[in-house]
Amino acid sequence: MTEKKEGITKTLGQAIDEIIQALQSLDQNSRITAINAVCEHLSIPLIEKSKSEPQSETLQHSAKIMATPLQEIKNFREQKRPSSANEMASLIAFYLSEMAQDRKAEVEVDDMVKYFKEAEFPLPKAPQVLLQNAKNAGYFDSVGGGKYKLNPVGYNLVAHNLPRTQSELSPTGKRTRRKQTKKTSSKNKGNRK
């Protein structure tokens, strides 16, 4: 396949080689920004090609980058709609371990403050105890040195339970707790006779 524009004829392979050469000297974030800008400029939808189509490893990698543009933490928060600081902390840890360009499995208070602000979610009154509180709520495990790792409960919260359904939310948008009923012990039953 050849393209002809203003007297210059290029094959598809030559065009790909030029794109790769132009992007090679850039860092990963800059490459993604450049690819996204070019696709937007040329009105190319960012979709992944079918896996059944034969492609070189380079083309598969490029298609994957274009199919999964970085999702900003603010958009992710809007999609998942956390209703508490503990849920937001879990969402940030999930984002950093599963979606961010520079992934990290462990988080600390500085990460929380930075991403709470970027996501435009209200900071808790005492950010220094946020991760400890989220750990106490069952979403994190402490790994020492002020660092925490999202555990399976926190992972499942973000991956499968957010956003909450309307039946789980009160009219104010806060999560409601189920009332526990007191069970009558067998001793009390015996005393009533």
Tens digit of each residue's pLDDT (9 = 90 or more) over 134-174: 999 999 999 999 999 999 999 999 999 999 876 655 555 45
Give residue 116's pLDDT: 96
Could you tell me the two tokens for 169?
């939310």
Give residue 71's pLDDT: 55
Can you give the residue range of the structural domain that contains 124? 73-168
- In a shared domain, residues 121 and 150: yes
Low-confidence ranges of the chain (pLDDT < 70): 1-9, 46-71, 166-193
Give residue 86's pLDDT: 98
Give residue 60's pLDDT: 46
Give residue 193's pLDDT: 47
- In a shared domain, residues 83 and 152: yes
* First vs last C-alpha separation in the chain: 92
Which distant-in-sequence residues (6+ apart) come within 8 Å of 45 by Cβ?
Answer: 39
- In a shared domain, residues 25 and 108: no
